[in-house]
Amino acid sequence: MVFRGRAQENWAPVPDRQQPPYQPWAPGVPGSYAPPQAREFSVGYRRWAGTLLWSAIIIAVLVVGAFVVSLVLLAQADADVRKASHGYLAIFLWFGITAAIPVLLAAGIPGVVMTRRVRSSSRTY
């Protein structure tokens, strides 16, 4: 017998329920297992994945180059008083770097995700 509910003074036992008849398979499920099919990606999706990824790589190279140039400009501004304006150019480059970082992230993250999806779907075949 199965007891239902909380323990109380006036409890009543519930009779056992009969189990449903055994079925070797669940209704609606095929008898054999087939692995899930890999998703097909269009040519346009693959093209956008490459475009976003390469644009992020180009932006990252430009950011690194701007950072190196800004360090050189700061060193020149510090070395000679007549080249003090180079320090302002370095600060201007830093503003450009900070403006380019969100663009880099906006192009890079979706590009990497899309490229990984395309590559993982091509590996499953």
Token readout for 88 is 């302002």
CA 103, CA 28: separation in Å to the nearest integer? 49
pLDDT attached to residue 13? 59
Spatial CA neighbour of 121 closest among 32, 33, 44, 42: 42
Query: pLDDT in tens for each of the 125 residues of the chain?
Result: 555 555 555 555 555 666 666 655 556 656 566 666 667 888 999 999 999 999 999 999 999 999 999 999 999 999 999 999 999 999 999 999 999 999 999 999 999 999 999 988 866 55
pLDDT attached to residue 10? 59
pLDDT attached to residue 39? 73
pLDDT attached to residue 115? 94
